[in-house]
Chain A
Amino acid sequence: DIQMTQSPSSVSASIGDRVTITCRASQGISSWLAWYQQKPGKAPYLLIYAASSLQSGVPSRFSGSGSGTDFTLTISSLQPEDFATYSCQQANSFPLTFGGGTKVEIK
């Protein structure tokens, strides 16, 4: 199985801050990576697929980059509605696996 490791596990930030979350795969996955946002008590919501493609309707302050084993999710200017947990998922091979999540908290 491909292990997905996210860092940090949590980050405290203020409104307007730039936030970067990292996801590392245990082996190369090309660009087959997705990012999800999950708010407490809610289902995950697809933000980015194929490492850098923004899902329709997702604000442009979200962006993704990377390929191979190292990926990043960046929120360019944190908004109140962005406080949530973010998870990466590899779509390169079965079984599909997720990172452990990064919680973005209010500073």
Chain B
Amino acid sequence: QVQLQESGPGLVKPSETLSLTCTVSGGSVRSGIYYWSWIRQPPGKGLEWIGHISYSGTTNYNPSLKSRVTISVDTSKNQFSLKLNSVTAADTAVYYCARVVPAPGGGWFDPWGQGTLVTVSS
């Protein structure tokens, strides 16, 4: 059974870079079937898809964040990572990693990591 676990700092200063890692267990990021995604949820608000990556490194980003986002994959560690630069208070959210089950136009998310709260504050 695939499990995902986010890790990284819970507090980031404004204008700095948010960095998170998702470790996959019980499965492999090398699977050619799935993509690997980041999604966030500001406190009390809805879910926002950030982007995803394939095992080969092909990425797809939300245009609203594309200029600030980098998602990468490390197959040797069975991990994938998120970097979001120039953060502001608006980037405060619970960040989730998830496996993407592909569908012709995108895909759905299953399973999800437990999520990690990242607060942007000085």
Contacts and interface: CB of A to CB of B under 8 A. Distances in A.
B16 interface: no
Contact of B46 (A45, A92, A98): A98
Contacts of A63: none
Interface string B68-107: 0000000000000000000000000000100001011111
A60 interface: no
Task: Give the contact-size bracket for chain A.
Answer: 20 to 34
Considering residues A55, A90, A94, A100, which has the most beta carbons from chain B within 10 angstroms of its beta carbon?
A94
Contacts of B111: 46
A96 B104 CA distance: 12
Interface string A15-32: 000000000000001001
Interface residues of B, number: 23
A32 B46 contact: no
Contacts of B107: 91, 96
A92 to B, nearest CB: 4
Interface of B: 46-49, 60, 62-64, 96, 101, 103-115
Interface of A: 1, 29, 32, 34, 36, 42-46, 49-50, 55, 87, 89-101
